[in-house]
Amino acid sequence: MPQTYDLTLKSIFSEIADDIIVYLTGISLKKLEELNIEFVKVERRDSDMTFKCDTDTGEIAVHIEFQSENDKMMPCRMLRYALEIMEKHKLKPYQVVLYIGKDKAKMDNGINYTVGDNKLDYRYRIIDIGEIRFSDIAETNYFDLYSLLPIVDRKKRAEAGEKYLKMCVDLIKDAPVDVDEKRTILFRAELLSGIAYSKEVIKKIFEEVEKVLKLEELSSYKMIMEKGIEKGIEKGKTEVVLKLFNRKFKEFPRKYEELIKSADNEILEKITDDIFDIEKPEDL
């Protein structure tokens, strides 16, 4: 799997709550800790995500492997991973392959054979993200999972095209979380969008939502600033104006900071009124 997708998925799932693991596995458990496992005997690579969990029947390891392509050798790899987990941690593994590919998952989910009196019946679970419906994610309160929206619901995605991606980013934009968290979710969603959409479509849609977030952020600051002015908090007004411009312009010249610090109430009020029309520091 491309490292970008791998790291994005790890960042989404590294802090996941117990109930999200239950949502994925379908079994009742409590996450205790994350296990760092390097599969040296297999292919010198780290496992994607492995958690030590407590269940009604005792402790187990939940192993989540991310896969972006169909791999006919996946059952053999997963069996080797299971053996490594059992050998190193003495835990029985519950294994899930989280498939995020553009095409439908077409992999076996285990190995089954009998030769004479020898028998092997090994199974793990494959979750095809593309088979999860948009509404299944949208109706949860697991807002971190919103990052997956651009690659779920393969059928709706194919029917709606780029309109589907816009629907995803609009839902994230309207999520009841602060702007910084929205940006984190959007950043991950933008990276994963590369699995299903062209760079041009991704750039267009995510740039549009970033403009909306900036307006939302500026509106919040303006409201705070106006409240500060109403209360006559001189220092508070100046600090909010400076924070506002440092947000709006990545490199806000120091000379303008000094001018704002020396500005009186009347000038600060004027800046507040005109904040949306100021396109460059020189406009001050």
Amino acid 59: pLDDT: 93
Query: What's the DSSP call for residue 41?
Result: T
Q: Can you tell me the distance from the alpha carbon of 168 to that of 128, in angstroms, rounded to the nearest whole number? A: 18
In a domain, 190, yes or no: no
Per the CB < 8 A criterion, the answer to whether 131 and 154 are in contact is yes
Q: Which helix (H) or strand (E) holds 68?
A: none
Amino acid 145: pLDDT: 87
Q: Can you tell me the distance from the alpha carbon of 260 to that of 145, in angstroms, rounded to the nearest whole number? A: 42
Range(s) of the domain holding residue 43: 1-131
Q: Which helix (H) or strand (E) holds 113?
A: strand 110-115
In a domain, 143, yes or no: no
Amino acid 9: pLDDT: 78
Amino acid 132: pLDDT: 94
**Predicted model pTM:** 0.69
- Both structure tokens of 281: 């520091």
Residues 6+ apart with CB under 8 A from 193: 150, 151, 165, 202, 206
Q: Can you tell me the distance from the alpha carbon of 128 to that of 114, in angstroms, rounded to the nearest whole number? A: 29
Residues 6+ apart with CB under 8 A from 246: 252
- Both structure tokens of 75: 């059952």
- For each of the chain's 284 residues, which pLDDT tens digit applies? 556 676 777 777 776 556 667 777 777 877 777 776 655 444 444 457 888 888 888 999 999 998 988 999 999 999 999 999 999 999 999 999 999 988 999 999 999 999 999 999 999 999 999 999 999 999 988 888 899 999 999 999 999 999 999 999 999 988 998 888 888 899 889 989 999 999 999 999 998 887 777 666 555 555 555 555 555 555 567 777 777 777 777 677 778 788 877 877 778 777 777 766 777 777 77
Boundary (domain end) residue, out of 108, 131, 154 = 131
Q: How many domains does the chain have?
A: 2
In a domain, 96, yes or no: yes
CA atoms within 13 A on the CB side of 137: 23
Amino acid 2: pLDDT: 59
Q: Can you tell me the distance from the alpha carbon of 265 to that of 267, in angstroms, rounded to the nearest whole number? A: 6
125 plus 214 within the same structural domain: no
Amino acid 41: pLDDT: 47
96 plus 218 within the same structural domain: no
In a domain, 172, yes or no: no
126 plus 6 within the same structural domain: yes
Q: How many CB atoms lie within 10 A of CB 36?
A: 8
